[in-house]
Structure 1
């Protein structure tokens, strides 16, 4: 049993009475009036269990988490800072001017300021670069995507067909095994 720390973003700020009720019954949820960000410090058997239970607890008070703070979107400068390389070197990797190629695409192509998934970039570095990066835990990223999907799924007509996207492809499974060093 460990203590897991993460953040949740609410669809709206709680009022004073909601915030007080939550904090009184769940002191591990830092809920403040007029703030949409909730800091969670929860003891649980796993991070996944902590995330799900915190969301359920907040929903019981009519507070609706819409995002899990995963801090996954990074710029080229952020990547350079995290790995101790220049932004220019990272830019050259991203364009294929340097390195082995195959750098993860930006999450918002065609924009002046591009953002990349840190999880994808870290996996690329583990597979292609000579320096060590810890294997990223994509749990908060996936939890965030699932929470967003839960909120948006009523807008989708053909939900059943889309659930097939949750089944991993052979290529994705092989890539994941390679990035984990299990080949």
Structure 2
């Protein structure tokens, strides 16, 4: 089996019992950061052994729910051009040329968080682009966990937002997008 690394964000009420409940539910392979005195947001950084990235992430989500925490999202790894260069053993100049379209096949993923000085890109989108164009050696596991985390994060966020709607509106929305 392969070890997959990812991060889950959650919120919980104050109390040491939250950390104990997470451990007992199966988060023994996670480093949990949470202030039991104040409660609120926390996260678990996982190194989870599983047959697939999907099974690793899904099992951690289920265990978090069993422990009674509200899951906010899965880290969809946002990276700068410098981080992309470091992760791919390329120069910042080469990655910048890909991003601006001056070199390479074009269609580099657009930044998820555009900023004047340092934009943030989806590592999942970047890894798929790199693999598609044969521009960097990426482990299949790395590509898989990036893709799964992107989808799991969007799903958790959509569910949380959807729960803010009245039930009739949720049902109408579910029918419309099904």
Tell me whether the two structures share a fold, i.e. TM-score over 0.5.
yes
Comparing both structures, which one devotes a greater share of its residues to strand?
2
- Per the alignment, residue 173 of structure 2 pairs with 159
Report the CA distance between 1:60 and its aligned residue: 2.8
Cα deviation 1:52-89 (Å, max 9, x = unaligned): 2322322233211211134x211111111111222122
- Per the alignment, residue 66 of structure 1 pairs with 72
Q: 1:85 and 2:94 equivalent? A: no
- Larger relative contact order (Cα-Cα within 8 Å, sequence gap ≥ 6): 2
- Per the alignment, residue 142 of structure 1 pairs with 151
What residue ranges of structure 2 are gaps of 5+ in the alignment?
A: 36-40
**Whole-angstrom distance in 2 between the partners of 1:58 and 1:45:** 20
For the structure 1 residues 4 and 82, does the alpha-carbon distance in structure 2 shift closer, same or farther, using more than 3 Å as the test? closer
Question: Alignment RMSD, CA only?
Answer: 2.9
For the structure 1 residues 130 and 56, does the alpha-carbon distance in structure 2 shift closer, same or farther, using more than 3 Å as the test? closer
- Per the alignment, residue 53 of structure 1 pairs with 59
TM-score normalised per structure 1? 0.71
**Whole-angstrom distance in 2 between the partners of 1:32 and 1:116:** 25
Report the CA distance between 1:108 and its aligned residue: 2.1
